[in-house]
Amino acid sequence: MSQEKVYRGTVRFYNQKKGYGFIDREDNKGDIFFHHTGLVDKDTYPQQNDQVEFEVEQGRKGKDQAIKVRRVK
């Protein structure tokens, strides 16, 4: 059973109406896209400057995207 690597970052932007946003990664690899379907907590939406943890997978267009996005308390 493989363990996925967990990354940290800060929400730079989230458009609740369109259901997507971007996270500035702490590992200095730029920003990463995330979709509302990748949020762990479907009842609350991330806000700009929220600290989050996430995993990374290859998206439909071949680019990395954040999944299992959750706020750090």
When the pLDDT of each residue in the chain is averaged and rounded to a whole number, the result is: 93
Query: For residue range 49-65, what is the model confidence (pLDDT) as tens digits?
Result: 999 999 999 988 899 99
Domains of the chain and CATH, by start: 7-71 (2.40.50.140)
Query: For residue range 19-35, what is the model confidence (pLDDT) as tens digits?
Result: 999 999 999 889 999 99
Residues 6+ apart with CB under 8 A from 3: none
Q: How far apart are CA 71 and CA 37, in angstroms?
A: 15
Q: Answer yes or no: is pLDDT of 16 > 60.
A: yes
pTM across the whole model: 0.89
